[in-house]
Every structure is written in C-alpha cells, then in structure tokens.
C-alpha cells in the first residue's frame, strides 16, 4: 500500500512538472514570437552588433563557417547538434534527473526558467537578426540547405531572437547540471564539452553571432547563481507562504467538517 502510494505521488509530481514545463515553453514561444515582425529594428540592431564585434576585433563568424564548410561531415554534425543538442537534450535530462537526481533536476529547471525569462525580455526589447539573414553577408544557412528546414513553417518561430543565444545559455546550464551529478574529471569534460560543441554549432549554422554566445553564457551563469541561491535559501524564503497556505487549508477543512 505504501509503495503504491509512493508511485501515485511520483506520478502526480511528474504530471505537474510536465504541465509546468509545457506551459512555460508555450508562453516562452508565444512571447518570443511577438518581436518577429520588427524587421527594421532587428537589422538596425544587427548593424550595431556587427560594429561592436568589429571594434573588438572578433568579427570572424564567416571565417569560422567557411573553414568548416569544407568538411561535409562536420557541417552535418553541427547542424544536427544545433537541434538535438538543445531541446531534446534538455527533455532527456529532465526525465532522467527527475527520477534519479531530483535535487539537480529542480536546480536545472529553475536555472532554465530564469535564463529563459531574461532572454524573453531582451528578445522583446532588442531584436537581432542572425548571420544567415544578412543580405550579401556570404553566410550559408546550413539547416535550410543541408536539412531543408523551413523556418517559416511555424508562426512561433522568431528569426530575430538572436541575442542572447539561449542555445548557448542552456548548453552551459546542462553542462553545469551534468557536472553536479557526475563530478570529477568526467563531469568537468561534460561541463566544458557541451558549451563548446554548441558554440561551434550556432556559429557554423550561421544562427548566432559571437556576442550572442557570450551574452547567452553570461545569462546562464547568472541564472545558475540565482538557482543555487534559491536551492540554498528557498525553504527559508518561502516558509511564510507555506505556513499561510497550511493555515488556509486547515481553515477550509475545518469549515467543511463543521458543516
């Protein structure tokens, strides 16, 4: 009986998390799509990003892509990783860690939510076009050319959500989450490898600028710091709210009994 109740509790918690994550993702995509029509603003902001990179001496995305385009196998790998190393990896980690490492799951979930929230604010206030959309820029849209992926197939796609790169940011968070679970040298390898591969993927596919990756990583680090603070002090911070909830629940139960 106790074991059955435990399974029901876990099933309820899993269902609750599915609704929470699914709802958050839907809101994220809907809000992100709001700036999709700001074409003029996006390209003006893109010019600013390019000028900043030129001033810093890091405007070399095209050089990186051209160097990799000579190797079709690498192009295929990075193009595939751009998709499979992002959302599917997050979903797979969430399912695994929810049952096996729930504390690390909660930490990673909170970090992803926090980073996504910051990203949405920037997308709405500062839309930026990716390199692949720059007319005459010389960039190859590898996802479209190699895998025939049509970005305009969905109304939720916002092609001007380049800054910050949450592909990069979420890769940093996933690296940190795996490090928490694995630890040691193996954990360090994953911590470094996941962001490094994603960095190459977003540049080779011409979906992000170098600055996008840097800002995405910075947003992720801030979100990870906040998630750690919440993990450490959350019980104390939310204790008054929980006590109020318990009192209200008790009052409701008492009222029902008195009837």
pLDDT tens per residue across span 28-79: 667 666 666 678 888 999 999 999 999 999 999 999 999 999 998 999 999 9
246, pLDDT greater than 70? no
Q: Is the pLDDT of residue 160 over 90?
A: no
Any idea which residue has 């911590």 for tokens?
Answer: 191
- Rounded to a whole number of angstroms, the distance between the first and last alpha carbons of the chain is 31
pLDDT mean over 212-221: 96
Let me know if residue 92 belongs to a domain: yes
Beta-carbon contacts of residue 187 (< 8 Å; ≥ 6 apart): 178, 179, 180, 181
Q: Pick the more confident residue, 258 or 161.
A: 161
Residue 169 has what pLDDT? 96
Global pTM reads 0.81
Which residues lie below 8 Å from residue 43, measured CB to CB, with a gap of 6+?
A: 129
Taking the CA atoms of 22, 24, 28 and 31 in sequence, report the sign of the dihedral they define. positive
pLDDT of 137 strictly over 80: yes
Number of domains present in the structure of the chain? 1
Q: pLDDT class for 94, splitting at 50, 70, 90?
A: confident
Taking the C-alpha atoms of residue 9 and residue 244, their distance in angstroms, rounded to an integer, is 23
Element (H, E) at 148: none
- Asked if residue 240 is part of any domain, the answer here is yes
Asked whether the CA dihedral 123, 127, 128, 130 is positive or negative, the reply is positive
* pLDDT at position 161: 81
pLDDT of res. 19: 73
Average pLDDT value over all residues in the chain: 82
In a domain, 254, yes or no: no
Contact indicator for 122, 163 with CB cutoff of 8 Å? yes
For residue 155, pLDDT over 70 is answered with no
Cα–Cα distance for residue pair 39/44, rounded to 1 Å: 9
Residue 257 lies in a domain: no
* Average pLDDT value for residue range 90-111: 90
Domain presence at residue 229: yes
Instruction: Answer left, alpha or beta for residue 59, where phi above 0 means left and psi between -120 and 50 means alpha.
Output: beta
The answer as to whether 258 is a domain residue is no
- What CA–CA distance (Å, rounded) separates 203 from 206? 5
Domain encompassing residue 31: 2-249
For residue 169, tell me if it sits in a domain: yes
* Of residues 96 and 6, more confidently modeled: 96
């Amino acid at each position: 009986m106790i074991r059955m109740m435990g399974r029901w509790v876990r099933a309820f918690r899993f269902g609750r998390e599915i609704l929470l994550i699914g709802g958050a993702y839907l809101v994220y995509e809907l809000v992100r799509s709001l700036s999709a029509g700001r074409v003029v603003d996006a390209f003006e902001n893109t010019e600013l990003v390019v000028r900043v990179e030129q001033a810093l001496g890091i405007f070399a995305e095209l050089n990186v892509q051209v160097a990799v385009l000579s190797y079709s196998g690498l192009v295929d790998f990075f193009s595939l990783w751009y998709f499979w190393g992002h959302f599917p990896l997050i979903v797979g980690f969430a399912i695994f860690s929810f049952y096996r490492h729930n504390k690390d799951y909660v930490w990673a979930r909170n970090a992803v939510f926090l980073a996504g929230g910051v990203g949405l604010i920037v997308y709405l206030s500062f839309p930026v076009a990716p390199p692949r959309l720059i007319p005459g820029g010389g960039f190859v849209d590898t996802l479209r050319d190699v895998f025939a992926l049509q970005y305009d197939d969905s109304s939720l796609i916002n092609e001007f959500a380049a800054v910050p790169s949450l592909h990069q940011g979420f890769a940093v968070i996933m690296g940190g989450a795996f490090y928490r679970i694995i630890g040691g040298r193996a954990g360090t390898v994953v911590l470094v490898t996941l962001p490094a591969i994603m960095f190459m993927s977003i540049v080779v596919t011409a979906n992000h600028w170098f600055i996008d990756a840097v800002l995405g990583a910075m947003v992720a680090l801030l979100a990870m710091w906040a998630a750690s603070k919440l993990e450490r002090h959350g019980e104390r911070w939310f204790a008054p709210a929980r006590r109020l909830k318990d009192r209200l629940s008790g009052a409701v139960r008492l009222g029902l009994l008195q009837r």
